[in-house]
A = this chain, B = another copy of it.
Amino acid sequence: MKNILPKALSELIDDFGVLPGVGARTAERYAYYMLRNETALCRRLAGSLEKLHAHVGTCPVTFAFIDANEDVSPLYSAADRDKTVVAVVEDPFDVLAVENTGQFSGTYHVLGGAISPIDGVGPEQLHIPELIERIKKDKVKEIILATNASVEGESTALYIQKQIENAGLENIAITRLARGLPSGVDLAYTDQITLSHALKGRQNL
């Protein structure tokens, strides 16, 4: 029934509709917003989209996002980053989350996802061989498995741990992020698994 809308408008609605989690209603709202605002706003978003792929690259060492004119991620090449400590994360935006804590001065390794047979993602699609190479080359002392706290994230962490052991790499600490109560939470509303983890991982004061 959408053919009563002008073609340019319904095309934009369709194009917004491909974004993740955006249904017909939300796409309409976005398109209407764009239409009501000045042309410059449309131009700016269009311009950013046009140059996205050409201007964003992937770091060949860490697989984090880099500017297309950089060779290696500054999070790897900077002098103040400790190359012997590597946080292994699933997605490029996870790097951002860890960086935002301001507590980490090591480097990153982006896997490009997690092992998930149901989504057709096997270990061969992740940057695991490159991680093993890096451990040897940079004489890595600690691998922090910072995958998501999901079934997929846990299996991926386990798989990587096995791969490191199989590669005969010794004297490497393999750690993972602590499990426990998230900040600000009410004990009574905490799920059982989280609380079990918090109990098991309790620390001396």
Contact = CB atoms under 8 A, between A and B. Distances in A.
Q: How many monomers of this protein are in the complex?
A: 2
A47 B48 contact: no
Interface residues on A, range: 35 or more
Nearest to A44: B15
Interface string A19-51: 111000010111111110001011111111111
A7 interface: yes
B57 A6 contact: yes
A151 B120 CA distance: 51
The interface residues of chain A, by DSSP majority, are classed as helix
A1 B99 contact: yes
B99 A4 contact: yes
A34 B6 contact: no
30 contacts: A1-B96, A1-B99, A4-B74, A4-B75, A4-B95, A4-B99, A6-B55, A6-B65, A6-B66, A6-B67, A8-B52, A8-B55, A8-B56, A8-B67, A12-B48, A15-B44, A15-B45, A20-B33, A21-B29, A32-B91, A32-B92, A35-B52, A35-B65, A39-B53, A42-B50, A42-B53, A43-B49, A43-B50, A45-B46, A45-B49
The 5 closest A-B pairs by CB, nearest first: A8-B55, A46-B49, A46-B46, A12-B48, A15-B45
